[in-house]
Structures are given as C-alpha cells and as structure tokens.
Amino acid sequence: MLGASLAEPVHAYLFVGPTGSGKREAARAFAAALVCPHGGCGSCASCHDVLAGRHPDVVVVERQGASISIEEARLVTNLAQRSPRQASRQVVILADFHLVDEAAPALLKTVEEPPASTIFVILADALPPSLVTIASRCLQVEFRPLDDEILEGLLVAEGTDSAVAASAAAAAGGRIDRARLLANDPGFSERQQRWRVAPKRLDGTGATVAVLTEDLLSGADELVAVVKARQEAEFAALAEAAERAGERGVPGRQAIEERHRREQRRVRTDELRAGLGTLASAYRSQLRGGEPAREISVLLGCCQAIATAVELLERNPNETLLVQSLLLALDAARR
C-alpha cells in the first residue's frame, strides 16, 4: 500500500501498532523512498543516507521527556516550514505520538495543512483520545505483532541458526527488534533457564530469595550491556560521518543519547517481563491434570501473582523489591 502511494503521497501517514511491530523501520524505509530521486531504489546515496540516519531531508523527532511537550510541538511546526535541502520534499517522522497529551492541539493545524514539500509520518503505539482528531487527518496504516513463524523465518533469512531463531521468536512477543536482539545474544538461553528453574531453587529462606533476585535481575543487566555496545558502535559511526562532513560534533547528540537511554529502559523492562512470563510458564507446566483441587488452586494463585507483578512492572517500580516480594509470595504459597 505504501509503495503504491509513492506516486501521489498524501500529506500525513499514521503508523499505529505496538513497539517492535516494525513501524519505525517501515517509516524509515518509506521516507527513503519518498526522497529517493529514483522512487525508492534502495541502492543510491540518498537511500543509504536515510537508512543510516543522516539525510538532511528526513528528520526524526523524538520526545525528550515522558510525553511530547508543547515546546517540541512548536519545533515540529518550525521543521515543517523548512524547505528541503537536497530532495524535492522532506519527511518529518514523529515518534511516540501516543504520548502527545496537551501538545495535540498545537500540532493539529501543522499536520492537517503542512507545506506541499513536507510529508509527516507519525508513529503511535495506540490511538488515545488525544490523537483521534489528528488521526482523522492522516492515512492510517495498522501494524500488528508478528507471528512466531514469521519472526523465525526472518531471522533464518538473516543468517540465524534455525534452533536459535525458533527460541528467539518464541520469546520475542511478536517484536522483530527483540527477536533480533535475542538471536544475537549468546546469553539468551541461559537467562531463560534461570527463570525457568527459579521455583525449584526456593527453599523457604529469605537468604535464598535475596540471592535468586540478584541472579534474575543480573540477566537484565547483561542484555542492556549488549544494547549499550551496539549503541556505542552506532554513535561511533555517526561521529565518523560527522567528521567527514566537517561537523564540529554529532548533530542531534542530545536527542540520540536520550533515545539510547529510552531504548535501554525499554529493553530492561522487556527482559524482566519476558522473564516473568517464563516463570509463569514453569508453574503452568505443572498443571498436567489430575492434581488435587488445592494444588491446582495454589498453582493458579502463583500464576496470578506473577501476572500482577507484570502489571506493576509498567509503573516503574523498585525492581529488587518487586521481584523479592513476588518470590516470597510464591515460596509461601507452596509451603
């Protein structure tokens, strides 16, 4: 659909779907096609520059705080009025637009009637009430979590071993970014195993709960370290490109660093959520049928306690206290 619209693109597109469903990658690829002098060849200097994040006519606007501020909305308005520098049009990609809050009215006029040379690509995880009016002015494109089979096929096509691809896809929650991250992380299987065997390690003592909590949380630290290494490589490449272009520093450094910090937080939360899911599956696997009613009730209660912990995880809690409290409750339930 996006390819068909290249001949006569509309002024604004709204990509809606959960994090990791591919909408950010699609936005970057679509933007490359929109500014490509050959209609999206994928091989020219323009396409390479967009995909590498250094084309002057493709701007990605990232929020700096918990939501998009009115000041950032004004920045978007100013960007929209700017003339393209190299291509015949410019593309402004607005990330995390579901967090627009009070800034929505300030952006409505700009998104509704941008200059003819500006095209908006808006990314949102969902459609909150504050976004409904703006959404009605855009061509909406739905993105959904990817099936495990599709994720596995993508990973195998990218050179991942089939067994590793299957495990990473199953643990990715429909997200291609997380699937790729896990597929290239040698510690993935070992971390899963830590959560899987956690119930067997509980022995009724607080000391064991403390040690087990530290062990489980260290897995999130390990994955964040993998992400940091990749980010450092990305920043080094941007610094090299800036030096070749005669820039005194990396353009948009603050925004890049803030994006990296958000990615680290998201990866950490995703890892803990996935670990809790593995923990829940360890309890569900004990429901083989034929157990006494009390045993079934205990196992279901454990699964409910884990589900509650997953919900609390979204509120940015103290992770150590959250996991310790959960493990103590799980331990007590089986005594």
Q: What is the pLDDT of residues 144-175, one digit of tens each?
A: 988 999 999 999 999 999 999 998 998 888 88
Is residue 314 very low, low, confident or very high in pLDDT (cuts 50, 70, 90)? Answer: confident
Q: By percentage, how much of the chain surpasses pLDDT 70?
A: 98
Q: Give the 3-state secondary structure of residue 124.
A: strand
Q: Note whether 92 and 61 are within 8 A (CB).
A: yes
What's the pLDDT at 67? 67
213 pLDDT tier (thresholds 50, 70, 90): very high
Of the candidates 301, 269, 288, 25, the one whose C-alpha atom is nearest the C-alpha of residue 141 is 25
* Chain position carrying tokens 């103290």: 318
Average pLDDT, the chain: 88
Give ∠ CA 91-96-98 in degrees, rounded to 5: 115
Phi, psi of 124 (to 5 degrees): -145, 140
Q: What are phi and psi of 172, to 5 degrees?
A: -90, -10
Q: Under DSSP, is residue 237 helix (H, G, I), strand (E, B) or coil?
A: helix
Q: Residues 75-85: what's their mean pLDDT?
A: 88
* pLDDT, mean of residues 228-246: 88
Question: Three-state DSSP class for 265?
Answer: helix
Going by pLDDT thresholds of 50, 70 and 90, the confidence category of residue 143 is very high
On whether the CB atoms of residues 181 and 267 are closer than 8 A, the answer is: yes
93 and 58 Cβ atoms separated by less than 8 Å? yes
pLDDT tens-place string over residues 9-44: 999 999 999 877 889 889 999 999 999 999 889 899
* Residue 76: predicted pLDDT: 86
Q: What is the pLDDT of residue 12?
A: 93
Which carries the bigger pLDDT value, residue 312 or residue 334? Answer: 312
CA torsion 178-180-183-186 (nearest 10°) is: -80
Phi-psi region of 252 (alpha: psi -120 to 50; beta: other; left: phi over 0): left
Q: Does the pLDDT at position 99 exceed 80?
A: no
pTM for this model (two decimals): 0.68
- Residue 130: pLDDT band with limits 50, 70, 90: confident
Task: Tell me what pLDDT residue 66 has.
Answer: 67
Entry field: residues in the chain: 335
> Which own/partner pairs from 224-230 qualify as long-range (CB within 8 Å, at least 24 positions apart)?
224/264, 224/267, 224/268, 224/271, 226/181, 226/184, 226/185, 226/187, 227/181, 227/263, 227/264, 227/267, 228/260, 228/264
Token pair 């084309």 is found at 55
Q: How far apart are CA 214 and CA 209, in angstroms?
A: 9
Residue from 36, 28, 46, 47 nearest 6 by CA: 36
3-state secondary structure of 118: strand
Give the residue, 74 or 121, on which the prediction is more confident.
Answer: 121
